[in-house]
């Protein structure tokens, strides 16, 4: 049966009134009411609340949600100590917290005996006012659906792949797999067009088309990244169309125009690529000039080019119909079952008889070493016969069944007809030099997907030119969807008809070598193959012009948005000629396009642009899905035939096609888009476009907050969620920026940080100051790299404001659990006691709210984020266990580069009855289970007699406290009361030879009660200082006037004096002081003793440490001793530079469990 630990609520042993508030109407001296160096923090648990006790139970959980909750055997588990009263003096400062926070020695003892341990996320298009003087208005073309969208899409879709590669794809993949390829790609584009139509009809779509739609739907980061990727895709598409144009020109129209001619068969590919580079560059330059002249001429030329495309397609269908009655005569010569290149011979014969004389043919000379009949010939040539096979057998020939299946193969694989007989004798080493038709690349299904997909990527040709459309919202959906439907029908029918009319070996002959270099698709057309050749040539030219027209406009739209900051993009590419043509963008486009031309292989360029287009389509679908699911009020597209499921399907299909086509190209494209995204996010201008990603973030945040509200975080997920109480001065400037540095070092950018500030007044009168303070705090947070939120509160008094922050900062489950503040270092010098009262009340409130509290003393001496502390230590003084905060904080600090070189030391205090050696072993084992590296030292503090210095310190503290209480009386009463207190103090401890001088001095000072309250308080300090200092003087010293305040120097001076006195004088002094000591509050004496002794030990061990972390004692439950509490803490911290006082929030924050 499973073991369980069950928490059982038990009545607390001690009760106490809930912490209230001190005088609320007092106005503190500083901005937050805590003093110039203040900051609030957590305190002890309400002792009246039920204390959860860990009970060990082997029964399974039978209640709740069935999820075991981890509970600690340490904190709040003090049932075994309830009956033990604490009567020691060394830890009296913490005695009121012993019922909820056990001594470390008790914790370690329980840990050593605990064996059941379980192992265990203004838009409205800003006007370009900063673009210089207003340009002269230019009337742009106003085109409709047919001319502006349908025809450009049709022309781009029905481009180079249809004419140059579709027959080869059908022959290689077979009809069935070719239909699958076409179906996948066309489905992807149709789903994308539906999503694009919804976005395009949800508002005005200015110039930029697809980029505009993506950026306004997914935000500037996604818009810029995907927009630039789509721009690159469109540019490389221009390269592909130009390469197609040159391939048609040099292969099928004027082969003799080639500049580079191969001497050997194996050099033909390299020669072709070099010719493509030269002629492609010239063609690109010519097309760039045409585009530069103006888009108007491109549109006029588009009609001519499109007419060629339509005529070519009609010629294909006419040729298919003609094959039913009279198939064209395009014989293919076969040697055995191998296909021969029919360039260098005219007859498919080995020998022929002329005038009864048998002579060899030109084919013979290709395989033999001479024209003689007895010449040495290729073995395969001699063993096999040559036959003629009709390349276009016709629609009714039944060849469709043979072309149904795929014929993939490696590079240089021979194109063979399996129906024909073949006799062995093949020599692969020699076959590459023979005039066989072979595969020029290795073929497989995914490669063909990547090569084919560019044939459907023209769907955004219309949206890219949305600035030229009369009504983009109407034209883009109708024109695009109609174009996709038309081209999808054409592609599907062409796949089936090609497979049904053309012989398989001819289909797999990519360049038509077996039919004398004719374009394969041209052999099927009617009335002449030249119809297809010329039509495809002008089709590729037109598609290239469309790409070179759309791509610069896309870059211009991105540049004008100003979201890509590099290369002065907005100033250069956002402008053009006087008529608005993007001149500089056109030059950059031509330069990038040249890169694709230098690659020179159409089959290599096609998968590259497939990636960029697929990524763009993916984000178009994502944008539509996000907007639909978020149901934002502004999402009201006129196009109604969309659904989020279709968008998700399209998005998934795009992603799948990316990795199907080429997984490594897909990764490269994603990396490029990711880098652009992060660059724009890091350096780009802030844009608020009401995009869907912002809405998605809001929805995700709401969902996460609701989930977090269900239950508090598990101990393993606990991290300090900080509320930083920050002060500002009268000019609303931040007082302690190092507090933000400490926050950054403590958080390392993780978790929640709320920086709070309180201004005194009303919201109506302080609104401007509050905004200024918020701006200054945010600027300081940015300078210190503090990631979080700023919260400025205006309240009638500062105490209420701090209370409101502690209670209400955060939202739902994302609320702070730790308060960070600065120590009020000037609380003694402040004229208003409300400053330190506010500090103590803040401590009480954090305790009541079960928040942890961190108080930084001398926070201005803490290191900045640019500092790098050298070898040193972070010392932890673990006096009481309050949840493990003292263990966790040094670990978090050491994760930051400022503290990384520091080592962690842990000191704990052993009492008289504790076994120091065993405590050290137990603590080392505890740290081992916590996976923390630290040096361990146990400091023994025995119950020593309370020193005279402690009594003196306590006496002065109580007298000052009593005097401060009288400051609430009238001036006359205050004078009388102070005189009485002074006289009583003087009479009880004065010496005979000092009486006259001291009485005169006191009378003189009492006559000056017209001074400020601070003067009156200082008077009592000075008098008492003089009298008690005299007690410790040497016997032969004469009377002298002493003026001192209780400063750090005073403390060390008094200590040194008391230690230097001989024993006889000390005994006499103690005897003389004893009557006054008896009237002291013994609880205060014991607490002062704890502060003095603990301070001595800490200073002795940790004075040179980079940082000291120390348990912060809780304030007294009786508010009458609040001012004494501040004195205790001052004594405890004297002599230390950087100190972080820590109070736990009443729960475990670090665990030994896995």
For residue 631, name the pLDDT band (cuts at 50, 70, 90).
confident
Q: What is the mean pLDDT of residues 358-379?
A: 86
Q: What is the arithmetic mean of pLDDT over 1010-1035? A: 39
- What is the tens place of the pLDDT at every residue in 885-930? 888 889 889 888 899 889 999 998 887 777 888 888 888 888 888 8
Please tell me the predicted confidence (pLDDT) of residue 169: 94
Using DSSP, state whether 521 is helix, strand or coil: helix
User: In Å, what is the CA distance from 641 to each residue of 438, 487, 548?
Assistant: 48, 21, 32
Lowest mean pLDDT of 5-14, 753-762, 955-964, name the range: 5-14
Q: Round to the nearest angstrom and report the end-to-end CA distance of the chain.
A: 21
Largest CA distance in the chain: 162
Mean pLDDT of 829-852: 83
Gap between the Cα atoms of 1154 and 1151, Å rounded: 8
The CA radius of gyration of the chain, in Å to the nearest whole number, is: 45
pLDDT of residue 752: 83
Of 501-510, 626-635, 848-857, 1050-1059, the least confident: 1050-1059
Per cent of the chain over pLDDT 90 is 17
More confident of the two residues 643 and 558: 643
- Confidence class for position 651, pLDDT limits 50, 70, 90: very high
Tokens 């001076």 -> residue: 1053
In this predicted structure, the answer to whether residue 958 has a pLDDT above a threshold of 50 is yes
**Burial class (CB within 10 angstroms; exposed 0-12, middle 13-18, buried 19+) of 22:** middle
- Higher-pLDDT residue of 1108 and 829 is 1108
Question: What pLDDT, on a 0 to 100 scale, did the predictor assign at position 888?
Answer: 86
Closest CA to 1128 of 1077, 1086, 1098, 1100: 1086
Pairing of strands 852-857, 872-878: unpaired
Q: Which residues have CB under 8 Å from 515's CB, separation 6+?
A: 330, 332, 342, 391, 506, 509, 523
Nearest 10 degrees: Cα torsion 809, 810, 815, 816: -50
Q: What does the alpha-carbon distance between residue 260 and residue 273 come to, in Å, rounded to a whole number?
A: 9
- pTM, full prediction: 0.62
Distance between CA atoms of residues 633 and 647, nearest Å: 19
Cα(1057)–Cα(579) distance, integer angstroms:
93
Q: Tokens for 1011, please give them.
A: 């001074």
Phi and psi at residue 340, to the nearest 5°: -105, 145
Q: What is the pLDDT of residues 1056-1090, one digit of tens each?
A: 554 444 434 443 444 444 445 555 566 677 778 78
User: Which band of pLDDT confidence, cut at 50, 70 and 90, is reported for residue 222?
Assistant: confident
pLDDT band at 960 (very low <50, low <70, confident <90, very high): low
Query: How far apart are the C-alpha atoms of 228 and 243, rounded to whole Å?
Result: 23
| Listed range (103-117, 590-604, 645-659, 1135-1149) with the worst mean pLDDT | 103-117
The reported pLDDT for the residue numbered 654 is 94
Distance CA 840, CA 41 (A): 9
Whole-number Å distance between alpha carbons of 662 and 652? 16
Assess whether pLDDT exceeds 70 at residue 548.
yes
**Per-residue tokens: 428:** 């692969």
- A 10 A CB-CB count for 317 gives 16
Average pLDDT for the chain: 75
Structure-token pair, residue 1035:
């016997």
How confident is the model at residue 374, as a pLDDT?
83
CA–CA gap between residue 53 and residue 70 (Å, rounded) = 13
Supply the pLDDT for residue 33. 41
Average pLDDT of the residues in 810-829: 84
Question: What is the dihedral angle through the alpha carbons of 736, 741, 746, 750, rounded to the nearest 10 degrees?
Answer: 110
CA distances (Å), origin 793, targets 213, 734, 771, 790, 839: 40, 15, 10, 10, 17
Separation CA 96–CA 112 (nearest Å)? 26
Residues sharing a CB contact under 8 Å with residue 453, sequence separation 6 or more, in sequence order: 185, 606, 610, 613, 614, 657, 661
* Model confidence band, residue 300 (pLDDT cutoffs 50, 70, 90): confident
Nearest residue to 534 via CA among 310, 257, 321: 310
The count of residues in the chain is 1154
DSSP 690-747: --HHHHHHHHHHHHHHHHHTSSPPPGGG----EEEE--B-TTS-BS-HHHHHHHHHHH
- Which string of b and e fits 637-675 if b means at least 16 CB within 10 Å? bebeebebebbbbbbebbbebbebbbeebbeebbebbee
Strand-pairing partners, residue 354, are 357
* Long-range contact set of residues 178-181: C-beta below 8 Å, sequence gap at least 24: 178/495, 178/499, 179/492, 179/495, 179/496, 181/445, 181/448, 181/449, 181/452
**Peptide bond before residue 527 is cis, with ω within 30 degrees of 0:** yes
pLDDT in the model for residue 700: 74
């Amino acid at each position: 049966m499973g073991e369980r630990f069950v928490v059982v609520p038990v009545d607390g042993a001690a009760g106490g009134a809930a912490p209230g508030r001190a005088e609320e109407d007092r106005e503190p001296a500083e901005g937050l009411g805590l003093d110039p160096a203040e900051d609030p923090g957590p305190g002890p648990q309400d002792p009246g609340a039920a204390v959860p006790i860990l009970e060990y139970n082997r029964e399974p959980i039978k209640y709740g949600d069935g999820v075991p909750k981890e509970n600690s055997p340490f904190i709040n588990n003090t049932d075994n100590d309830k009956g033990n009263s604490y009567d020691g003096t060394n830890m009296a400062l913490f005695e009121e917290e012993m019922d909820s926070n056990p001594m470390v020695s008790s914790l370690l003892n329980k840990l050593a005996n605990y064996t059941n341990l379980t192992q265990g996320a203004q838009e409205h298009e800003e006007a370009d006012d900063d673009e210089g003087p207003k340009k002269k208005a230019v009337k742009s073309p106003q085109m409709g659906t047919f001319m502006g969208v349908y025809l450009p899409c049709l022309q781009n879709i029905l481009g180079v792949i249809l004419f140059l590669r579709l027959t080869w794809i059908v022959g290689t993949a077979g009809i069935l797999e070719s239909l699958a390829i076409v179906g996948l790609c066309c489905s992807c584009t149709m789903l994308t067009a539906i999503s694009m139509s919804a976005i395009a009809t949800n508002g005005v779509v200015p110039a930029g088309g697809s980029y505009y739609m993506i950026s306004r739907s997914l935000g500037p980061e996604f818009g810029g990244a995907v927009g630039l990727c789509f721009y690159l895709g469109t540019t490389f598409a221009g390269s592909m169309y130009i390469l197609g144009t040159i391939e048609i020109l040099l292969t099928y129209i004027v082969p003799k125009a080639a500049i580079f001619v191969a001497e050997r068969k194996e050099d033909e590919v390299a020669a072709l690529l070099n010719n493509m580079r030269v002629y492609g560059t010239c063609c690109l330059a010519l097309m760039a000039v045409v585009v530069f002249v103006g888009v108007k001429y491109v549109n006029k030329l588009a009609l001519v080019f499109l007419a060629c495309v339509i005529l070519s397609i009609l010629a294909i269908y006419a040729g298919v119909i003609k094959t039913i009655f009279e198939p064209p005569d395009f014989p293919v010569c076969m040697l055995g079952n191998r296909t021969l290149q029919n360039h260098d011979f005219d007859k498919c014969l080995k020998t022929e008889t002329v005038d009864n004389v048998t002579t060899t043919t030109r084919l013979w000379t290709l395989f033999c070493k001479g024209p003689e009949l007895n010449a040495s010939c290729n073995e395969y040539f001699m063993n096999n016969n040559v036959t003629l096979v009709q390349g276009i057998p016709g629609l009714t020939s039944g060849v469709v069944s043979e072309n149904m299946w795929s014929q993939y193969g490696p590079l240089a694989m021979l194109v063979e007809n399996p129906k024909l007989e073949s006799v062995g004798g093949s020599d692969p080493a020699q076959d590459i030099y023979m005039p066989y038709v072979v595969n020029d690349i290795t073929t497989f299904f995914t490669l063909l997907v990547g090569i084919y997909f560019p044939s459907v990527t023209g769907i955004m040709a219309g949206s890219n030119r949305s600035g030229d459309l009369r009504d983009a919202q109407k034209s883009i959906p109708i024109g695009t969807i109609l174009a996709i439907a038309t081209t999808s029908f054409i592609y599907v029918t062409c796949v089936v008809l090609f497979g049904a009319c053309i012989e398989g070996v001819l289909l797999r002959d990519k360049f038509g070598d077996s039919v004398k270099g004719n374009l394969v698709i041209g052999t099927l057309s009617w009335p002449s193959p030249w119809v297809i050749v010329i039509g495809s040539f002008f089709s590729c030219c037109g598609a290239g012009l469309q790409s070179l027209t759309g791509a610069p406009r896309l870059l211009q739209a991105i540049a004008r948005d100003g979201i890509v900051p590099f290369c002065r993009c907005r100033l250069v590419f956002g402008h053009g000629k006087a008529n608005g043509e993007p001149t500089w963008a056109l030059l950059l486009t031509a330069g990038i396009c040249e890169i694709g031309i230098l690659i020179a292989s159409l089959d290599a360029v096609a998968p590259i642009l497939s990636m960029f287009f697929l990524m763009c389509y993916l984000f178009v679908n994502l944008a539509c899905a996000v907007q639909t699911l978020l149901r934002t009020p502004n999402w009201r597209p006129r196009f109604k035939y969309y659904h989020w499921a279709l968008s998700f399907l399209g998005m998934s299909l795009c992603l799948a096609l990316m990795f199907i086509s080429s997984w490594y190209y897909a990764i490269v494209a994603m990396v490029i888009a990711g880098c652009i995204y992060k660059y724009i996010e890091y350096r780009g201008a802030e844009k608020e476009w009401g995009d869907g990603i912002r809405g998605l973030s809001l929805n995700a945040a709401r969902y996460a907050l609701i989930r977090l509200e269900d239950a508090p975080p598990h101990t393993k997920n606990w991290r300090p969620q900080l509320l930083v109480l920050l002060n500002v001065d009268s000019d609303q400037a931040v007082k302690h920026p190092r507090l933000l540095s400490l926050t950054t070092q403590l958080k390392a950018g993780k978790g929640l940080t709320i920086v709070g500030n309180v201004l005194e007044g009303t919201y109506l009168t302080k609104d401007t100051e509050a905004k200024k303070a918020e701006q200054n705090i945010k600027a300081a947070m940015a300078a210190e790299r503090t990631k979080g939120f700023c919260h400025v509160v205006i309240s009638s008094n500062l105490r209420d404001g701090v209370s409101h922050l502690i209670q209400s900062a955060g939202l739902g489950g994302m609320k702070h659990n730790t308060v960070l503040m600065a120590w009020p270092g000037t609380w003694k010098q402040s004229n208003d006691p409300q400053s330190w009262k506010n500090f103590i009340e803040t401590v009480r409130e954090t305790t009541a709210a079960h928040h942890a509290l961190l108080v930084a003393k001398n926070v201005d001496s803490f290191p900045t984020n640019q500092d790098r502390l050298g070898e040193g230590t972070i010392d932890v003084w673990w006096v009481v266990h309050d949840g493990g905060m003292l263990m966790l904080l040094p670990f978090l600090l050491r994760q930051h580069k400022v503290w990384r070189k520091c080592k962690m030391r842990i000191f704990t205090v052993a009492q008289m009855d504790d076994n120091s050696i065993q405590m050290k072993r137990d603590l080392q084992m505890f740290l081992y289970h916590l996976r923390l590296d630290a040096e361990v030292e146990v400091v023994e503090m025995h119950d020593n007699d309370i020193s005279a210095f402690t009594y003196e310190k306590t006496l002065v503290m109580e007298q000052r406290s009593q005097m401060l209480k009288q400051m609430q009386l009238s001036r006359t009463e205050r004078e009388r009361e102070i005189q009485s207190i002074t006289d009583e103090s003087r009479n009880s401890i004065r010496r005979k030879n000092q009486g006259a001088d001291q009485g005169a001095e006191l009378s003189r000072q009492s006559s000056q009660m017209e001074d400020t309250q601070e003067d009156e308080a200082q008077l009592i300090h000075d008098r008492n200082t003089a009298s008690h200092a005299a007690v410790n003087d040497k016997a032969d010293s004469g009377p002298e006037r002493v003026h001192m305040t209780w400063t750090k120097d005073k403390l060390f001076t008094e200590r040194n004096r008391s230690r230097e006195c001989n024993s006889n004088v000390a005994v006499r002094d103690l005897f003389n002081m004893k009557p006054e000591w008896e009237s002291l509050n013994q609880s205060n004496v014991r607490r002062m003793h704890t502060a003095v002794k603990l301070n001595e030990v800490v200073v002795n061990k940790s004075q040179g440490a980079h940082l000291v972390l120390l348990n912060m004692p809780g304030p007294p439950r009786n508010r009458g001793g609040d001012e004494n509490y501040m004195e205790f803490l001052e004594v405890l911290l004297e002599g230390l530079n950087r100190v972080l006082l820590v109070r736990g929030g009443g729960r475990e924050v670090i665990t030994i469990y896995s």
